[in-house]
Amino acid sequence: MNPKIEFFVGLSEELSNVSLRKSKSTGIRNVLFTFNSLKAIEKFQSFTTRTYGDLRLIDDEGVITVQPSGIKFIFGGDEGDEVKRVECSFEIENDDHWKRFMRFMNRYAEVNGMGYKDK
């Protein structure tokens, strides 16, 4: 099974970018997913942030369910009403959860031709 990311069951989204950060003071890791488009928005025009609920990361090991701590819509276009990208952030505190997330991300990156770049 290829790894996939879903806001809605059965509707896989394509991740455009991911940013990983760790707070020096708390040790909490922050993940920022960026999507250049969302199939969920294209299929559901009346989509609101309350509809999101959980984000599901699915691979051969199973399903990781995370609750986004923030979702930000960035608009553009001639009239400013076109979704240019969506940013979804969440935190991971537990080391075991982080290791599992990184295994998922490595699989997702490999299948989708993504690479890691340290800033």
- Per-residue pLDDT band for 117 (boundaries 50, 70, 90) equals low
Identify which has the larger pLDDT, 117 or 113.
113
Instruction: Pick the more confident residue, 83 or 93.
Output: 93
Q: How confident is the model at residue 42 (pLDDT cuts 50, 70, 90)?
A: low
Report the pLDDT averaged over residues 11-16.
Answer: 92
Report the distance separating Cα 116 and Cα 20, nearest Å: 10
Residue pair 17/34 in contact by the 8 Å Cβ criterion: yes
Average pLDDT over residues 15-36: 94
CA distance 28 to 16: 23
When mean pLDDT is compared across 18-22, 49-53, 108-112, the lowest value belongs to 49-53
Average pLDDT over residues 18-38: 93
Topology of domain 4-112, CATH: Elongation Factor Tu (Ef-tu); domain 3 (2.40.30)
Range 83-96 average pLDDT? 92
**Sign of the CA dihedral with 100 first, then 37, 6, and 68 last:** positive
- What average pLDDT score do residues 88-100 get? 95
Residue 3 near residue 15, CB atoms below 8 Å:
no
Q: Which residue(s) pair with 72 in the sheet? A: 87
CA distance 88 to 17: 11
